[in-house]
Amino acid sequence: MTILEVDDLVVSYPVRKRLFGADELLHAVDQVSFVVEKGQTFGLVGESGSGKTSIGKAILGLEKFQAGRIVVNGETLTAQNQIRSQDYRRNVQMIFQNSYSSFNPKKNILAILTEPLKNLTHLSLKEQRHQALELLDIMKLPEQALEKYPDEFSGGQLQRIGVARAVIVKPKLVIADEPVSALDLSVQAEVLNYMQAIQEAFKMSYLFISHDLSVVQHMCQQMAIMHQGRFVELGDREAIYQKPQHLYTQQLIAAIPGELSLEETVQRQQIFSKYQAERGKMYDPLGRVHNLKAFQPNHWVSQA
Amino acid sequence: MSKSLLEVDHLSISFWGKDRWLKAVKDISFTVNQGEIVAIVGESGSGKSVTAEALLGLHQPATSLIDGRIRFNGELVYDSKASHLASLRGKAIGMIFQDALNSLNPVFKIDKQFIETLRQHQKISKKAAKALAVEALQLCGISDPVRILNSYPHELSGGLQQRVMIALAISCQPKLLIGDEPTTALDVTIQYQILTLLKDIQAKLNTGILLITHDFGVVAEIATRVIVMYAGEIVESGPTADILNSPRHPYTQSLLKSRVPKDIQATNGKLTTIQGSVPSLQAMPEDGCRFAPRIPWLPATAHETSPQLHQVGGEHWVRCRCWEHFKFAEELSL
Amino acid sequence: METTQKHLTHLKHKASLGPWRLRISLADHKLLTIGLMMLLIMFSVAVFAPQIVQLDPYEINPMDRLTGPSAQYWFGTDEFGRDVFSRSVYGARYSFFIGMVVAALSVIPALIIGLLSAYFPLLDLILMRVMDGLYAFPAILLAIAIVAIRGSSVENLMIALVIVYIPAVSRVIRSAALSVKGKSYIKALDSQGASAFRIIGVHMLPNILPTVFIQFSYVFAQSIMTESALSFLGAGIPAPMPSLGNILFDGKAVIYNSWWMTVFPGLFIVMLVIGLNFVGDGLSNAFNQRHVGRVKRVKAKKGVV
């Protein structure tokens, strides 16, 4: 069952306003389409400026989109009609990269966790508190945390609270925007484990946005690599990570720092040289990345 | 025989916390030689950034207490009586920070920033300073230095900004470079380029580099030696290959194991985590193995009461003896 | 090796106001403490005026006119033989009262206007233009105009001051509210289903409270000074009611011979105004310090945006 369907999505910003004629636009997201199934984790990988965060914001409603369709749990949004119902809001929630800045510093954890419940459900105060406690339990946070304030917690704990807040209304889709990028290594592992535990418990789908390919391939079954607002490769993780076809994907994987054998080092240099030499071929005459073409079942590659 | 550039001798750094001194770094000693890249690895609360800042003389004497000795190029530059650290900054010790944009003044063009920095440390004309700037930028892989010099910081991409910052740092020809997470905020391809650049600088200028990082990938790429810090102490140190391939201290082992595996595993593979959390500055224990509470299945007798560093290989040192009996929890099927 | 120990003064008092999270330790904020003490003294004077004062502030004793401070007349007498001490105390009482009322009646509407303007761009356009118009009037001239039209009374004085202060305060509150509105946690609230009024009242308001308190203290101080100035010009509190300003006005003529009519009420004004300014500045410092430690730590761990 499809939870999220994105069709030819366009999110653009005016970079230069003109007095006569159309404004010059920057397409942060340039006709992107993909589908996320129920219970699946879909990874969006890209470097900064690739547009991956804009997709998440457009789906959530933090940004307006200019063309295309977004369908969440059967509810359709178009460029002309972007009004989201309460159901939609309850079905789509977000985990932020820096949870601390997404919390009102003057509110305690109970207030922060129950905010979505107050607005999107009709639970009594007692039931709200019960839900909050249930999630704290899953996140292995103590009950006393409810009365504390955001600046009393560490980065890892804050991310866990951010995850708890995102799932407290039992959404069908959670957009995780760089949820672990700012965390220490061991804390990153904890939060990723919790995210998986939540997914198993509540059967929700994740749209996992990150620049870190290793983390994405660990969490996601299906992924897409973005560059300049478009997809260069889309498919399941084995296809993308083990048999990357597009030059951009290949050099992205090659750039991951780590211990490399002599053979791997040589391969890496070859990929980089190839990328320098042939990168012009990635774009069409208009400067846009080529459209995706089917390569194998569940593996699409941008090609001329 | 490479010359020793930086010698840190029993350094302890404490901060005043309302009613007593809180020790952020306890008795660490290490050296950085010419032409070496030494990486200090640790997580938040390890004291790694505090150490780097202390070496640059960035702590306020009013609220901080630094014990120990620091020698640079054989000369004593810091002890309880005097500190010459600030005078070394920029000239002999260059620094690169995480956020290039914050280190570059947004209202001045790049050339002005170079000229100012260079003329602060040497008596040269603007023209000569500009020439040095061009040289430094070229060394950092910038092919059109003149255009860059004529730009404002915000007109450059993140990667270029980082290169400019590194060029600024090396333009004064420092013997030692200290970098605090210089590539953490960068995209992976730019990170790779910057790491390659640092290796280049190490090779061409024989500069010593002290790199603070939390990323073992970065360590594997460029570090000659690694120092692992936990809760203000050095828990393990040695050549990169030793640390990555045969880590001894339970913290190092746990940290390495908690990384996302390189190969694709079955979905829902759980990552290894470390129980508990890093002790806060206020709750730092005075004696005993500081990592002990996080491996509670190991009996108290496995730890030393006053854990010392022991040599376990040529240059491989480990603190405490708990590593001898250490096994991961799942191996003991707990 | 020598180590220097720092000896800090023992923490005196920790003020904590529950859900609003305004925890500040008074020992760390000397400015605030001194200001609060000065205000407390003046507050006691104002509130306990009937108890403190023995002599009738209106009673005329022509025999004792313009005598210096003595055992009977602590602050001396004025040109009608009235006790300057009791007049000063009651003057302080009225000043305090006027200051508080004007501050409250200005800040509350300004708060509403500021918040609504910050949140609703269309309202912003309309409201701010109206405020701009009112802002153009200098307080003193407006007060004189109203007094000329409606007559001299305490109420008219307060009306004039309120009209002048609402625009100024609403501007400041609007800017504070705008900067809060831009924060990530406010933007995130939409996806959590919060309505506009909930965002404004429950989420934005607590975050601009420091600004509100500071504005309150400044308006309080300003209105006292303006009232004193107006009374000094003869357009404030009508005679024979005592006001710190009109005692100064009367004392101006005899300043060389009867310094007590200028010095003592002047001292009261100074205590009030400096106290208020210290509190305002002290609060401003206190609230700015609070989140510094946290922000620094978070910034250090920022990843790719």
Q: Which helix (H) or strand (E) holds B2?
A: none
Question: Which residue of B16, B65, B187 is in closest CB contact with C304?
Answer: B187
The answer, yes or no, to whether residue B106 has pLDDT greater than 70, is: yes
Q: Kindly list the residues from chain C whose CB atom is less than 8 angstroms away from the CB atom of residue A62.
A: 187-188, 190-191
Using CA atoms, how far apart are residues B258 and B334, in angstroms rounded to an integer?
Answer: 18
Question: Which residue of A185, A200, A255 is in closest CB contact with B258?
Answer: A185
Contact B290, B230 (CB under 8 A): yes
Average pLDDT of the residues in A74-98? 92
> Which residue in chain C has the smallest CA separation from A89?
C191
Chains that touch B (3 or more CB pairs under 8 A): A, C
pLDDT of residue C26: 59
Q: Find which of A185, A214, A252, A268 to mutate to test the B interface (most B CBs within 10 Å of its CB).
A: A185
**For B10-22, how does the pLDDT look when each residue is reduced to its tens digit (9 = 90+)?**
999 998 877 888 8
**For C132-164, how does the pLDDT look when each residue is reduced to its tens digit (9 = 90+)?**
888 887 877 887 888 788 887 888 888 888 988
CB contact under 8 Å between C190 and A116, yes or no, is no
CB contact under 8 Å between B99 and C304, yes or no, is no
Q: Quickly count: other Cβ atoms within 10 Å of residue B141's Cβ.
A: 16
CB contact under 8 Å between C3 and B67, yes or no, is yes
CB contact under 8 Å between B65 and C300, yes or no, is no
Interchain CB contact of B64 with C (< 8 Å)? no
pLDDT of residue B266: 57
Crossing angle, helix A125-138 and helix A109-120, to 10 degrees?
120
Chains that touch A (3 or more CB pairs under 8 A): B, C
Contact B272, B328 (CB under 8 A): yes
Chains that touch C (3 or more CB pairs under 8 A): A, B
Q: How far is CA B45 from CA A41, A177, C243, C291, in A?
A: 33, 25, 60, 19
Q: What percent of chain A is modeled with pLDDT above 90?
A: 68
CB contact under 8 Å between C193 and A98, yes or no, is no
**For C34-88, how does the pLDDT look when each residue is reduced to its tens digit (9 = 90+)?**
888 988 988 888 888 888 888 888 888 888 888 888 888 888 888 888 888 888 8
Interchain CB contact of A200 with B (< 8 Å)? yes
pLDDT of residue B235: 95
Q: Kindly list the residues from chain C whose CB atom is less than 8 angstroms away from the CB atom of residue B99.
A: 299, 302
Q: Kindly list the residues from chain A whose CB atom is less than 8 angstroms away from the CB atom of residue B218.
A: 257
Using CA atoms, how far apart are residues A180 and C303, in angstroms rounded to an integer?
Answer: 9
By three-state DSSP, how is residue B173 classified? coil
Average pLDDT of the residues in B255-265? 83
Q: pTM surpassing 0.80?
A: yes
Interchain CB contact of C9 with B (< 8 Å)? no
pLDDT of residue B80: 75
Cα-flanking dihedrals φ and ψ of residue B37, to 5°?
Answer: -115, 110
The answer, yes or no, to whether residue C123 has pLDDT greater than 70, is: yes
* A–B interface: beta-carbon pairs under 8 A: 88
Interchain CB contact of C4 with B (< 8 Å)? yes
Which of A221-235, B80-94, C78-92, C203-217 is predicted most confidently?
A221-235
Using CA atoms, how far apart are residues A217 and A242, in angstroms rounded to an integer?
Answer: 10
Using CA atoms, how far apart are residues C173 and C167, in angstroms rounded to an integer?
Answer: 10
CB contact under 8 Å between B188 and A238, yes or no, is no
**For B128-186, how does the pLDDT look when each residue is reduced to its tens digit (9 = 90+)?**
999 999 999 988 888 889 999 999 988 888 788 888 999 988 888 889 999 988 888 78
CB contact under 8 Å between A258 and B262, yes or no, is yes
The beta-strand segments (E) located in chain B are: 4-16, 21-33, 37-41, 64-72, 75-78, 93-96, 176-180, 208-213, 225-230, 233-239, 309-311, 317-319
> Which residue in chain C has the smallest CA separation from A158?
C298
The answer, yes or no, to whether residue C10 has pLDDT greater than 60, is: no
Q: Kindly list the residues from chain B whose CB atom is less than 8 angstroms away from the CB atom of residue A255.
A: 188-189, 191-192
Q: Which tokens belong to A271?
A: 């990929």
Q: Kindly list the residues from chain C whose CB atom is less than 8 angstroms away from the CB atom of residue A103.
A: 185
The answer, yes or no, to whether residue A93 has pLDDT greater than 60, is: yes
pLDDT of residue B78: 85
Using CA atoms, how far apart are residues C67 and C81, in angstroms rounded to an integer?
Answer: 8
At residue A218's C-alpha, the angle toward residues B194 and B240, to 5°, is 45
Interchain CB contact of C6 with B (< 8 Å)? yes
Instruction: Please name every residue paired with B318 in a beta bridge, in sequence order, or none if there are none.
Output: B236, B310
Interchain CB contact of B261 with A (< 8 Å)? yes
Q: How far apart are the first and last CA of chain C?
A: 46
> Which residue in chain C has the smallest CA separation from B158?
C304
pLDDT of residue B2: 65
Instruction: For residue C139, give every residue at least 6 positions away whose Cβ sits within 8 Å of its Cβ, in sequence order, or none.
Output: C160, C161, C164, C165, C222, C226
At residue C4's C-alpha, the angle toward residues C2 and C7, to 5°, is 155
pLDDT of residue A223: 95
More confident residue, B267 or C245: C245
Q: Kindly list the residues from chain A whose CB atom is less than 8 angstroms away from the CB atom of residue C190.
A: 61-62
* A–C interface: beta-carbon pairs under 8 A: 84
Question: Which residue of B49, B65, B67 is in closest CB contact with C300?
Answer: B49
Q: Kindly list the residues from chain B whose CB atom is less than 8 angstroms away from the CB atom of residue C2.
A: 80
The answer, yes or no, to whether residue C22 has pLDDT greater than 60, is: no
Query: Measured between CA atoms, how close is C1 to chain B, in angstroms?
Result: 7
CB contact under 8 Å between C303 and B67, yes or no, is no
CB contact under 8 Å between B185 and C6, yes or no, is no
Interchain CB contact of A89 with B (< 8 Å)? no
pLDDT of residue C21: 47
Question: Which residue of A47, A189, A196 is in closest CB contact with B258?
Answer: A189
Question: Which residue of A61, A181, A211 is in closest CB contact with C191?
Answer: A61
Closest CA to A198 of A234, A247, A161: A161
Using CA atoms, how far apart are residues C279 and C266, in angstroms rounded to an integer?
Answer: 20
pLDDT of residue B284: 85
Interchain CB contact of B44 with C (< 8 Å)? yes
CB contact under 8 Å between C3 and B65, yes or no, is yes
